[in-house]
Amino acid sequence: MYDLESRTTTLGQNIVAFVKKLPRNQITDSLLIQLIRAGTSIGANYCEADGAMTKADFKNKITICRKEAKETRYWLRVVCSTYPGLENKTDLLIQEVRELIFIFSAILKK
């Protein structure tokens, strides 16, 4: 099976490493901060879901995970269009986020 805690942590780490390599300026700083916040909060919310005391709390946290994953995908697309030529570097991150969205959606349907 999938270790979602590890997978979401790795995604957050990969996003931070990706952002560290990009040139920054006044315009891009806010975009990159948004990307880091959304991308790392997926794992944080998953950890909260994993420790949920009730089914309702679990469902709420997984819903937040899915929302944050969708937001991360959005920011990755914006950053990609802001830095021409990054498609190859963002494709893997976007693919991982897309898969997590599908996983969280499947969890919510159960």
Structure-block tokens of residue 72: 């991360």
Instruction: Taking each helix axis as running N to C, give the angle between helix 87-109 and helix 55-82, from 0 to 180 degrees, rounded to the nearest 10.
Output: 160
Residue type for position 38: A
Residues 6+ apart with CB under 8 A from 75: 31, 34, 35, 38, 39
Enclosing domain of residue 94: 4-109
State the total domains in the chain: 1
Q: How much is the pLDDT for 2? A: 66
User: Across the chain, what does the average pLDDT equal?
Assistant: 95
How much is the average pLDDT of 24-48? 96
- Owner of token pair 């919510």: 108
Are 11 and 93 contacting, i.e. CB atoms less than 8 angstroms apart? yes
Q: Which CATH number does the domain housing residue 59 bear?
A: 1.20.1440.60
pTM here?
Answer: 0.93
Please report which confidence band the pLDDT of residue 48 belongs to, taking 50, 70 and 90 as the band edges. Answer: very high
Tokens of 13: 């780490």
Condensed to tens digits (0 to 9), the pLDDT of residues 58-74 reads 999 999 999 999 999 99
Map tokens 């950053």 to a residue: 79
Q: How far is CA 47 from the centre of its chain?
A: 14
